[in-house]
Structure 1
Amino acid sequence: MRVAVIQLAYADGEPLPERRDRAAHLVRQQAGHDLVILPELWGPTGFDYRLWEAAAESVDGPTVAAMAAVAREIGAMVHIGSIIETLPQPGAEGKSLANTSVVVGADGAVAAVYRKIHRFGFAAGEPALLEAGSDLVTVDLPGGHRAALSTCYDLRFPELYRRQLDAGAEVFLVPAAWPMARVEHWCTLGRARAIENQCVLIACNTAGTHGGYQMGGASQVVSAQGVVLAEAGPDEEVLSVDIDVDEVSAWRRDFPVLADRRL
């Protein structure tokens, strides 16, 4: 499976329609890949919460529609990162917005929708504005292997990834807007999730500066053995990686640590 990880950079001054067009162009350039992944909230921004309500859209809104069109054009599955979704109805906490990841298939149809479970902000930011997701979401990749979806701050909660493992995941797909101030946590936690679950991790972060925050970059692809197959720098960059997902089952058979789980 050939994967393109688009570490998109942006700043506050770029209008959303222009950024959407630029992101679509970057995806279009990845023709020949089986899977393309974008970062979390690259449209409404990861940290400028003031923009979220105005930038909110539905799953069939302009961002997903634009990426679905390009997915059909290049014949690849596209993880569009995430949007601020206007929910069909308010959630359990009475909020009408969510941080929602969407995967579209090579035919442009929506293949999976995941609403971020762990909201970052310590009672401000995401917890104050967004409903939490509750569903474990997986999607079948080209070739039939199963991937599990999570987003950014989710990476700090290993119990989620154990549940994904038990749901049959061989690959973790993690878009993020992770800041430079804690980028070492990003790198270490991603590698830990891959190693402890013997899964491939494909983690796509944001670059640039917005809302007063410098973003961390350092997108990475990590094998089930913990080998970093590719890693980005701090600026906009596209990683192109060939991944043999069949090696996951081979590694689990050769080093059967998961069989020794007790709890």
Structure 2
Amino acid sequence: MRASLIQLGVDPDESVPARRERAAELVRGLGGSDLVVLPELWTVGAFAYEAYAAEAETPADGPTAAVMARAAREAGVWLHAGSVVERDAEGRLYNTSLVFSPAGELAATYRKIHRFGFDEGEAVLMAAGTEPTTVRLAETTVGLATCYDLRFPELFRSLVDAGAEAFVVPAGWPARRREHWTLLARARAVENQSYVLACGTAGTHAGVAQAGHSLVVDPWGEVLAEAGEREEILTVDLDMARVAKTREDFPALKDRVLR
């Protein structure tokens, strides 16, 4: 399975509509991939709290969904379009990931369960999701997580129990905690014997420098590819048979006691 991670740069001087179209063009250029991934809240910026309400949209027919659905269809790829600020029918906001099929259909959504902010920012402005979510692709099942979720291993265990062999983790991770980003991505891969596709942003979100350094980790915890700090695209061929082989050769998951 060929996966491409778009480490999109977020420039405060670039309008949201312009960034949508630019991201769509990058997706269309990756038609040889099976799965394409964008970062967390790349339209508004993960730390641009004051813009959340103004940029909120609906997952099914909002402007980001319309542009990304078309890009997925034109490229013929599975597209994890990162996340958007969702407004539900009651007016609540969520950090919601959108996944589109190669036909351009909205195949899955995932509302971020663990909100960052310690009683500020996202933690108070957005409601929490409650449902761990997986998506079945042609080659494998992927589990969905978002940014701060990476710090909570129990979520990833639940995704493994639901059949996940790879995790897709879009993020707006700050540069000052970059070492945690790499460490946690590798830890989630090792302990679950799964691939981790961790896609961050470049640039700044409301003045907060982003870590970049998107990475792809294999089921043994080895980093197959890692980006730098600037906007960049990583494309990696994944041998999904390695998941079963790793779990067979080193059957640690069978020794789990607490479930």
TM-score class, shorter-chain normalisation, is over 0.9
- Runs of at least 4 residues off by over 2 Å: none
Q: How does 1:218-229 map to 2 (within 5 A)?
A: 218-229=213-224
> What is the aligned partner in structure 1 of residue 166 from structure 2?
171
**Structure 2 spans left out of the alignment, 5+ residues:** none
Does 2:135 correspond to 1:139? Answer: yes
Does 2:183 correspond to 1:154? Answer: no
Partners of 2:231 and 2:33 in 1: CA distance: 19
In 2, are the aligned partners of 1:35 and 1:76 still within 8 Å (CA)?
Answer: yes
> What is the aligned partner in structure 1 of residue 71 from structure 2?
70
In 2, are the aligned partners of 1:44 and 1:56 still within 8 Å (CA)?
Answer: no
Q: What's the Cα RMSD here?
A: 0.8
> What is the aligned partner in structure 2 of residue 18 from structure 1?
18
**How many Å apart are 1:65 and its aligned residue?**
1.0
TM-score, length basis structure 1: 0.96
AA aligned to 1:141 is L
Partners of 2:196 and 2:90 in 1: CA distance: 33
> What is the aligned partner in structure 2 of residue 247 from structure 1?
242
Aligned residues: 257
**How many Å apart are 1:46 and its aligned residue?**
0.6
Partners of 2:89 and 2:136 in 1: CA distance: 26
**How many Å apart are 1:89 and its aligned residue?**
2.5
Does 2:23 correspond to 1:27? Answer: no
Q: How does 1:16-165 map to 2 (within 5 A)?
A: 16-59=16-59, 60-90=61-91, 96-143=92-139, 145-165=140-160
**How many Å apart are 1:141 and its aligned residue?**
1.6
TM-score, length basis structure 2: 0.98
Partners of 1:15 and 1:142 in 2: CA distance: 35
Partners of 2:45 and 2:204 in 1: CA distance: 10
**For residues 238-257 of structure 1, what are the alpha-carbon distances to aligned partners after superposition, in whole Å with 9 as ceiling and x for unaligned?**
00100011110011011111
SS in 2 for 1:69: helix
**How many Å apart are 1:87 and its aligned residue?**
0.9
SS in 1 for 2:149: helix
Partners of 1:74 and 1:142 in 2: CA distance: 16
Q: Percent identity?
A: 54
AA aligned to 1:175 is P
**How many Å apart are 1:120 and its aligned residue?**
0.2
**Structure 1 spans left out of the alignment, 5+ residues:** 91-95
AA aligned to 1:122 is F
**For residues 203-261 of structure 1, what are the alpha-carbon distances to aligned partners after superposition, in whole Å with 9 as ceiling and x for unaligned?**
10011013111000010000001111110000000001000111100110111111111
> What is the aligned partner in structure 1 of residue 200 from structure 2?
205
In 2, are the aligned partners of 1:3 and 1:34 still within 8 Å (CA)?
Answer: yes
**How many Å apart are 1:167 and its aligned residue?**
1.0
Partners of 1:57 and 1:36 in 2: CA distance: 22
Partners of 2:131 and 2:245 in 1: CA distance: 29
Partners of 2:80 and 2:138 in 1: CA distance: 13
**For residues 111-146 of structure 1, what are the alpha-carbon distances to aligned partners after superposition, in whole Å with 9 as ceiling and x for unaligned?**
110000000000111121101000010001232x11
Partners of 1:197 and 1:10 in 2: CA distance: 32
Partners of 1:236 and 1:106 in 2: CA distance: 25
Does 2:223 correspond to 1:262? Answer: no
Partners of 1:206 and 1:229 in 2: CA distance: 19
AA aligned to 2:124 is A
Partners of 1:111 and 1:203 in 2: CA distance: 20
